[in-house]
Amino acid sequence: MPAAKQDAVALLKEDHRKVEDLFEKFEKARGEDRKRALVQQICTELVIHTMIEEEIFYPSCKAEIEDKEGILEESYVEHDGAKVLIAELLDSAPDAEFYDAKVSVLSEMIKHHVKEEEKRGEGVFAQAREAGMDLEALGERLKARKEELKRQFADGNLPPPHTRSFSGHKLVQDHPVEAVPT
């Protein structure tokens, strides 16, 4: 029996719920191995999700919705911010300074991004529905690309992040502020 078709919005919302669940599991996790495994899962899910949105969903929306509020541009910037933290986490270990803080900040960024995308009436998902986009056909394209990426990254090796809105950085790595004895 063939699998039921899933429209684009339902597929993307399902991704959102899965990542939210993984972040909750991380908050409760104890032990470096468990934390490392959860972060790998979180990062893999987010990398694939951002890729299918940026390659397929957002360009399709750009052609169909009136983006008066700049929702799509904001989405790219939010993705790029998340990609920085994903790269940091993948190049780190659970015992590293700031590791848990980076996961926490990434979780908050994703919560904000999800809230914006799913906002009733004015979020990009609502606008896509209102524009009458063929979300079922778009869902099939997203699903096919997602499956392709899952196979490609099954070994856990994720590609370096590609940013679309960040450019020309000249960052200097400083040390965290040390506590001063009183």
Q: Is the pLDDT of residue 115 over 70?
A: yes
Q: Is the pLDDT of residue 175 over 90?
A: no
DSSP category for residue 133 = -
Using CA atoms, how far apart are residues 140 and 143, in angstroms rounded to an integer? 5
State the pTM of this model: 0.91
* The length of the chain, given as a count of residues: 182
* pLDDT tens-digit readout, 79-106: 999 999 999 999 999 999 999 999 999 9
CB-CB contact of 39 with 95 (8 Å):
no
Domain ranges of the chain: 8-152
Identify the three-state secondary structure at position 65.
coil
Mean pLDDT, the chain, rounded, equals 92
Segment 107-117 shows an average pLDDT of 97
Using CA atoms, how far apart are residues 158 and 120, in angstroms rounded to an integer? 33
Least confident of 31-35, 50-54, 168-172: 168-172
Using CA atoms, how far apart are residues 89 and 161, in angstroms rounded to an integer? 12
Q: Is the pLDDT of residue 3 over 80?
A: no
